[in-house]
Amino acid sequence: MDADVFDLRPTDPDSRALPEERRVALALAEAIIPGGAGIRPADELTLKLTEEVTDHVSPWATKAFRAAMGLLDRAAVLSTGRRFHKLDRARQQRLLQKWEQDPVLRGPLTAVAFAFKFTHFDTPEVYRSLGGKLNVVQNLEQPRWLSGITPATEWDADEEIECEVVVVGTGAGGAVVGKELADRGYAVVFVEEGGHYRRV
């Protein structure tokens, strides 16, 4: 019986998975996305991209992702006496089907599967194999109205802004009030917390 499963004790959030953990992770990815009908199966690239995405989201997302895989690996040991990556493909598939119906393991399996599928299917290669095309916007021209938005980080601390009205917050009617005043000839400045993000 393989007892050397994931060590889930607190670790450095930036630490990478151990070699044995990566073997389990790759086996889970390959079992969840076996490929077929022109779609490549999950591979090392899938695992690498998934690690990058979870690292980008949050160090705790990485820890949660690894913990979920560790839980599934422990479940494999309890069910079969062997770690997930040491099982043949047919047995791995049977375990996945069993876990999908399990009230405890369905959550971790869903989380792991979502992470792998999100990164695997969101690549140009897979898009092309499905007959799709990634639309990449290049050299996006900024609309004229955007020139009036200036991040506070670009202002000097003692710089003065001349205006007649200051509207704090554009939500809950602030934008409407400010627009009405601007239409009547007042010099209006809107102050908003946080950055300005566009949908593209």
Q: pLDDT tens digits, residue range 87-146?
A: 999 999 999 999 999 999 999 999 999 999 999 988 777 777 777 776 666 666 777 767
User: pLDDT band at residue 6, thresholds of 50, 70 and 90?
Assistant: very low
Which domain covers residue 105, as residue numbers?
19-129
Asked whether 5 and 23 are in contact (CB, 8 A), the reply is no
Q: Considering the domain boundaries, does residue 3 fall inside one?
A: no
Cβ-based neighbour number of residue 178 at 10 Å: 20
DSSP, res 39 = B
Same domain, 48 and 114: yes
Please tell me whether residues 33 and 67 are part of one structural domain. Answer: yes
Tokens 């630490």 sit on residue: 15
Give the start-end residues of each E strand in the chain.
165-168, 188-191
Query: Do 125 and 61 share a structural domain?
Result: yes
Clarify whether residues 79 and 121 are in a common domain: yes
90 and 169 both lie in a single domain: no
Q: How many structural domains comprise the chain?
A: 2
pLDDT over 60 (residue 10): no
Q: Which residue has the higher pLDDT, 178 or 3?
A: 178
Same domain, 101 and 185: no
The rounded distance, in Å, linking the Cα atoms of 156 and 180 is 29
Q: For residues 42 and 31, give the distance between their C-alpha atoms in angstroms, rounded to a whole number.
A: 8
Instruction: Spell 8-37 as b/e; 16+ CB within 10 A means b.
Output: eeeeeeeeebeebbbbbbbbbbbbbbeeee
Do residues 120 and 38 share a domain? yes
Q: Predicted confidence band at 8 (pLDDT cuts at 50, 70, 90)? A: very low
Is the pLDDT confidence value at 75 over 70? yes
**Residue 135 placed within a domain:** no
Read off the pLDDT of each residue in 138-157 and give the average, rounded to a whole number.
73
Sign (positive/negative) of CA torsion 107, 6, 119, 198?
positive
C-alpha 68/C-alpha 105 separation (Å) is 9
28 assigned to some structural domain: yes
Least-confidence region, from 9-13, 47-51, 81-85, 158-162 = 9-13
In DSSP terms, 191 is beta-bridged to: 168
Q: How far apart are CA 200 and CA 189, in angstroms?
A: 24
Cβ–Cβ under 8 Å, residues 78 and 20: no
Distance CA 13, CA 61 (A): 9
Task: Report the DSSP beta bridge partners of residue 188.
Answer: 165
**pLDDT, tens only, 16-47:** 556 888 999 999 999 999 988 778 899 999 99
**pLDDT > 70 fraction of the chain, expressed in percent and rounded:** 83
